[in-house]
A and B are shown apart, each in its own frame.
Chain A
Amino acid sequence: MLKVDAINGYYADLHVIKDLSLRIEKREVVALFGPNGHGKSTLLKLLCGLQHPRSGSVYFNSEEITAYPAHKIVELGIAYIPEERNLFGDMTVMENLNLGAYNKRAHGSISQNLEFVFEVFPRLLERKNQLTSTLSGGESRMVAVARGLMSEPSLLMVDEPSIGLSPSLRNSVFEALAKINREKGITLLIVEQEIRDALSMANRVYMIKKGQILFEKPAAEVDIDEIEKAYF
């Protein structure tokens, strides 16, 4: 579904992603681990078109998307949920969700997706007329994920879904992600620091270090010590 071929990416003038290649198959859940500042977020930004690789190529369903702008990539079916959330603070939850379905691909399924989103995050239904700038951290995270789902993606890339959340909220976010994959068949790429949670739902794991893939394994064969060791 997604094929990344030897890309090089920069953050300002820093060479952050170095000749990195990976692939993601349809319906997979792939977890991407790695220490902070080693290129995980930059990698996602390169894949969703917020930044562009200086060399190498990215293919989505065999179409080369390396130089596509972000809005075109959304239209092909890749949704990216930034760690910063980037919600529209002066708009209600509902307005944020509707804007999530801005691209043409999502128009036909707005009501269906809204129903699913409220089923996954019932909390948002209670808050639907509230401005998102007044929501708690956990609720904002839910809106960010829900807004991404509204774009009718076939691949959802989530950056640190659990950061700053209490353990119970973290659980509900991970349960929601699992449900998204199971019921909607949406492929997931998850960048996460909470290794245990992400590992329990992943099919495959990539470990990234210094902008390169350190190893790649089926989740079942990974043991946590091995990952934690790679962090140091």
Chain B
Amino acid sequence: MESFINAIVSGLISGSLYAAMALGLTIIYGISRIFNFGHGVIALIGAYTAWIFVQNSKIADMSLLLGILVTIAFLFLLGFLLYRYAMNPLMKKPNWDISTVLFMLGLGILLENVILQIFGPRVKSIPVFKEGYIRIGVVQINWHEIIIIFIVIIAIILLNVFFKRTRIGQAMRAVAQSIPGAQVVGIDIEKIFSYTFGLAFVVTGISGILLGTKYYMNPHIGWEWMVKGFVIVSFGGLGSTNGAIYAAIILGVVEALATLFLGAMWVWPIWFAIFMVVLLIRPQGILGGRA
């Protein structure tokens, strides 16, 4: 019983990490209809950028905060420019849905190799936010994981406020719901798409940093992160941010229970079995629809 409860808790922790990771993917898809096949590598770029700032420290300090701020600025710019100079011209041509996917896939492979050249193939990780743990009854949680969950919850709240209350956030929702509608009310959709890419890359990069603190990273792990992200957003409903959050939590708990009862090697088969069954029964995912 004790190990069962602890498994649930650890499932909720990885679930919140997966939620953070899937958000960037679902934001881009929900608003621009582009499926970002470079998603995992973008998360990895976030993690490696932050790692530069903390490579010599054992425990996170102000240098990690600085690393996070630089990552945010860098990834926003990367997303913004990538939309402007690559996605936007591609979207003006026929078959843009395929060409953007292939472009992002190619860019992902290119960047993976750039990371390999710069940082080398060895496994790295980002130091934890705070060492030690607390005990609540039978449940034992690391401080670090509590902080991760806290960051994810804050991020989700901030995103919600942004989409509901700010002018640009509302414009993003408008574009997600009707592109011609957005155009006739005077929204510059190309500007909104470029901000969307900037925002989604920032969210993705932060999720990469969190993953880098809890697990480890190497130049190739981005693809594994991306596949998990794809399963989560398809399971939750493409373009639905709430769906992605629920799906991530469910799959996180499934992962922890599968590891507990069957062993870690069963996680992927069970994930994909659930995923395919859900797709067959409900192709639009549990909360299908637009953002």
Q: Which of B188, B189, B289, B290 has its CB near the most chain A CB atoms (within 10 A)?
A: B188
A-contact 0/1 string along B170-205, CB 8 Å cutoff:
110110011011011111110000000000000000
Structural contact, B184 and A99, CB atoms closer than 8 A: no
* Inter-chain contact A103/B177, CB cutoff 8 Å: no
Min CB–CB distance B213 → chain A (angstroms): 35
Of the listed residues A74, A86, A91, A148, the one surrounded by the most CB atoms of chain B closer than 10 A to its CB is A86
Known contacts: A70-B183, A71-B187, A103-B186. The answer to whether A89 contacts B178 by CB under 8 A is yes
CB-CB under 8 A for A70 and B177, given A90-B290, A95-B170, A98-B170: no
Q: Contact between B177 and A90 (Cβ–Cβ < 8 Å)? A: yes
For A82, list chain B residues within 8 Å (CB): 180, 184
B93 to chain A, nearest CB (A): 15
A87 contacts which of B173, B178, B183, B187 (Cβ < 8 Å)?
A: B178
Shortest beta-carbon distance from A114 to chain B in Å: 15
Which chain A residues lie closer than 8 Å to B186 at the CB level?
70-71, 74-75, 102-103, 106, 151
A50 touches B188 (CB 8 A): no
- Whether B58 sits at the interface, judged by CB under 8 Å, is no
What does the 1/0 interface line of B139-173 toward A look like (CB < 8 Å)?
00000000000000000000000000001001101
A148 to B181, CA, bound (A): 10
Q: Is A88 an interface residue (CB 8 A)?
A: yes
**B290: A residues at CB distance < 8 A:** 90
- Assembly CA distance A58 to B220 (angstroms): 54
Chain A stretch 71-97: residues in CB contact (< 8 A) with chain B: 71, 74-75, 79-82, 84-91, 95
Q: Which residues of B contact A151 (CB under 8 A)?
A: 185-186
Residue of A50, A75, A89, A102 with most partner-chain B CB within 10 A: A102
- Which A residue sits closest to B177, measured CB to CB? A88
Contact status B180-A86, CB under 8 Å: yes
User: With A90-B290, A91-B173, A95-B170 in contact, do A79 and B184 touch (Cβ < 8 Å)?
Assistant: yes
- What residue of chain B has the Cβ atom nearest to residue A76's Cβ? B186
The answer to whether A50 touches B174 (Cβ under 8 A) is: no
Interface residues of A, count at CB 8 A:
30
B178–A50 contact, CB under 8 A? no
With A88-B174, A90-B290, A91-B173 known as contacts, the answer to whether A99 contacts B185 (CB < 8 A) is: yes
Most buried by A among B171, B178, B184, B187: B184
Given A88-B173, A88-B174, A95-B170, CB of A102 within 8 Å of CB of B180: no
Q: Is the CB of A50 within 8 A of B183?
A: yes
Which residues from A are CB-within-8-Å of B177? 88-91
Q: How many whole Å from A191's CB to the nearest CB in chain B?
A: 15
Asked if A43 is at the interface (CB within 8 A of a chain B CB), the reply is no
Please tell me if the beta carbons of A74 and B185 are within 8 angstroms of each other in the complex. yes
Q: B178 contacts which chain A residues (CB < 8 A)?
A: 86-89
Q: Which of A49, A84, A89, A100 contacts B185 (CB 8 A)?
A: A100
Q: How far is the CB of B189 from chain A (nearest CB, A)?
A: 8
Which chain A residue shows the least CB distance to B184?
A80
CA distance A138 to B281 in the complex (A): 36
Q: Which residues of B contact A70 (CB under 8 A)?
A: 183-184, 186
Whether A69 is near chain B, meaning CB under 8 Å from some CB there, is yes
Chain B hits for A124, CB < 8 A: none
List the A side residues contacting B173 at CB < 8 Å: 88, 90-91
For B180, list chain A residues within 8 Å (CB): 50, 82, 84, 86
Asked if residues A86 and B184 are in contact (CB atoms below 8 Å), the reply is yes
Interface of chain A residues 126 through 168 with chain B (CB within 8 A): 147-148, 151
* A100–B181 alpha-carbon span in the complex (Å): 10
A48 interface residue per 8 A CB criterion: yes
Q: Mark A42-84, 1 if CB is under 8 A from B, else 0.
A: 0000001110000000000000000001110011000111101
* CB within 8 Å for A71 and B174 given contacts A50-B180, A86-B180: no
B-side residues, CB < 8 A to A, are 167, 170-171, 173-174, 177-178, 180-181, 183-189, 289-290
By a beta-carbon cutoff of 8 Å, the part of chain A in contact with chain B is 48-50, 69-71, 74-75, 79-82, 84-91, 95, 98-100, 102-103, 106, 147-148, 151
A-B contact pairs, 21 of them (CB 8 A): A71-B186, A71-B188, A71-B189, A74-B185, A75-B186, A84-B180, A87-B178, A87-B181, A88-B173, A88-B174, A88-B177, A89-B178, A90-B289, A95-B170, A98-B170, A100-B185, A102-B167, A102-B186, A102-B187, A103-B186, A106-B186
Nearest 7 Cβ contacts at the A-B interface: A74-B186, A86-B181, A103-B186, A70-B183, A88-B177, A71-B188, A86-B180
